[in-house]
Structure 1
Amino acid sequence: MKISINQLLADLKIITENNIEFAESLLDQNNETLNFRTSENSWSVLECLEHLNFYGKFYLPEIEDRITKSRFSSKKTEFKTGLLGNYFANMMLPKAKFNKMKTMKTANPIHKILDRSVVEKFINQQHKMFELLEKAKTVDLEKTKTSISISRLIKLKLGDTFRFVIYHNLRHIKQAENILIR
């Protein structure tokens, strides 16, 4: 898939802005609402965000480090996704009927005692993501590569990493929205 770099970054910024807006609205909710789960084995709103915070803790420094150290400046106007990166990114997009996925045990926050600080941390991470999307304009999104959380041996194009992480955020924000609606 090919997409204009400006369009890609603009689309990802919009998703990130919407995530910030949603998370800020959660600050008006009480802990009982934020910790409500629809069943014993489902996640609460705070658990959805804590899961995203776990991945943000890995990906935000990884992305920032790769942008800072990249020796490939931005010269292209289009981004061409990688085969694996495109697959991972598209897998994360929320579907009309929510498709469940297994999460790694270390990234599963179920039954943790959580409070509003989870929301504040998520908001801070989303602001950092927005800042990194802005910085990404200066580097080649194809030649600049990042490691992924499950293996440092697998590298994705920076543009695909942004898509993967931000679509993953979107997926769990939609999940959190659905919990609040019930």
Structure 2
Amino acid sequence: MKIEAHLLLQELAIQVKSHIEQATLLEKQTEKSLNARITPDSWSVLECIEHLNRYGDFYLPEIEKRINSSHSKPELQFKSGLLGNYFAESMLPKAKLNKMKTFKNMNPIHSKLDKSVLQTFISQQKKLLLLLENAGKVSLNKTKTSISISTLIKLKLGDTFRFLIFHNERHIQQAQRVIKNVWF
């Protein structure tokens, strides 16, 4: 995938702003509805969002550290890497969702959660917007970040942003399906 770097950052920022809006709407729900599940083994809305917070806890400091330590200059175009594009594209929600197993430390099932999970998510998304803005000053191709499953594997900064934001989209849609399918 090739795209003008500034367009990629703009498109991703639009998505992040949408995620903030959606989380803000979720704050209007009762804690009972936010903790309800469709089946005993499925995630509640708050568990979906807590899962995203756990990834944010890793990726936001990692991205910030790499942007701050990068001496690269921004290029006009971002060209996705093979592995980075695969990871990012695999996160995109599809009509028939491909289920994925999550790592144990990222699985919030049966956690005791309250609405502060949503406030944490919104705060993380605001930080992500700032990082997207700061990323315009470095190379999205040459600046590399570690990934949560292995610090040995590095992705281009542009792919890391795509992966993280597409992953957020996937689970926000999941949370919205939970709200629609839970009856009280």
User: Residue type of the partner of 2:59?
Assistant: Y
Give 1:84 shift: 0.2
Give aligned pairs, total: 181
Which runs of no fewer than 5 residues in structure 2 stay unpaired? none
3-state SS, counterpart of residue 114 of structure 1: coil
What residue is the counterpart of 1:158 in the other structure? 157
Mapped partners of 1:14, 1:73: distance in 2: 24
- Structure 1 residues 155-180: Cα deviation after superposition (integer angstroms, max 9, x where no partner): 00000000000000010001001111
User: Residue type of the partner of 1:114?
Assistant: L
Mapped partners of 1:120, 1:5: distance in 2: 30
Say if 2:100 is the partner of 1:107.
Answer: no
User: Residue type of the partner of 1:164?
Assistant: F
3-state SS, counterpart of residue 154 of structure 2: strand
3-state SS, counterpart of residue 119 of structure 1: helix
Give 1:17 shift: 0.4
Mapped partners of 1:165, 1:28: distance in 2: 25
Q: Percent identity?
A: 60
Mapped partners of 1:69, 1:80: distance in 2: 21
Mapped partners of 1:138, 1:79: distance in 2: 13
Say if 2:12 is the partner of 1:2.
Answer: no
User: Residue type of the partner of 1:169?
Assistant: N
What residue is the counterpart of 1:126 in the other structure? 125
Mapped partners of 1:78, 1:96: distance in 2: 30
- Structure 1 residues 17-41: Cα deviation after superposition (integer angstroms, max 9, x where no partner): 0100000111111110100100011
User: Residue type of the partner of 1:110?
Assistant: I
Alignment RMSD: 0.6
Q: Runs (4+) of structure 1 moved beyond 3 Å?
A: none
User: Residue type of the partner of 1:176?
Assistant: A
User: Residue type of the partner of 2:30?
Assistant: N
Q: TM-score, length-normalised on structure 2? A: 0.97
- Structure 1 residues 132-177: Cα deviation after superposition (integer angstroms, max 9, x where no partner): 0000000000000000000000000000000000000010001001
3-state SS, counterpart of residue 109 of structure 2: coil
Mapped partners of 1:175, 1:99: distance in 2: 12
- Describe how 1:42-121 pairs up with structure 2 within 5 A: 42-74=42-74, 76-121=75-120
3-state SS, counterpart of residue 145 of structure 2: strand
3-state SS, counterpart of residue 136 of structure 2: helix
Q: TM-score, length-normalised on structure 1? A: 0.98
